[in-house]
Amino acid sequence: MKTLGNIIGIIFGGFMIALEYFIAGFLMLITIIGIPFGKQHFKPVHLALVPFGKKIET
């Protein structure tokens, strides 16, 4: 069931969300001040692609 949910999630916007996070993270890595923020933008990329079956810990 998780696999089906992940496939549907990727089709209905998960890929675009992951792409936006990736591009934003890459653009932030260009400046010295943005490097820590750029690194943090790469973390939710995997969560946007495969949201079902993941646990988020703070």
Tens of pLDDT, residue by residue over 18-45, are 999 999 999 999 999 999 999 998 888 8
When divided into structural domains, the chain yields a total of 1
Q: Please give the pLDDT value at position 48.
A: 86
In a domain, 54, yes or no: no
Q: Please give the pLDDT value at position 37.
A: 92
By the 10 Å C-beta count (0-12 exposed, 13-18 middle, 19+ buried), 3 is classed as exposed
In a domain, 56, yes or no: no
Over 70: is that where the pLDDT of 58 sits? no
Confidence of residue 17 (pLDDT cuts 50, 70, 90): very high
Residue range 2-25: mean pLDDT, rounded: 91
In a domain, 38, yes or no: yes
In a domain, 18, yes or no: yes
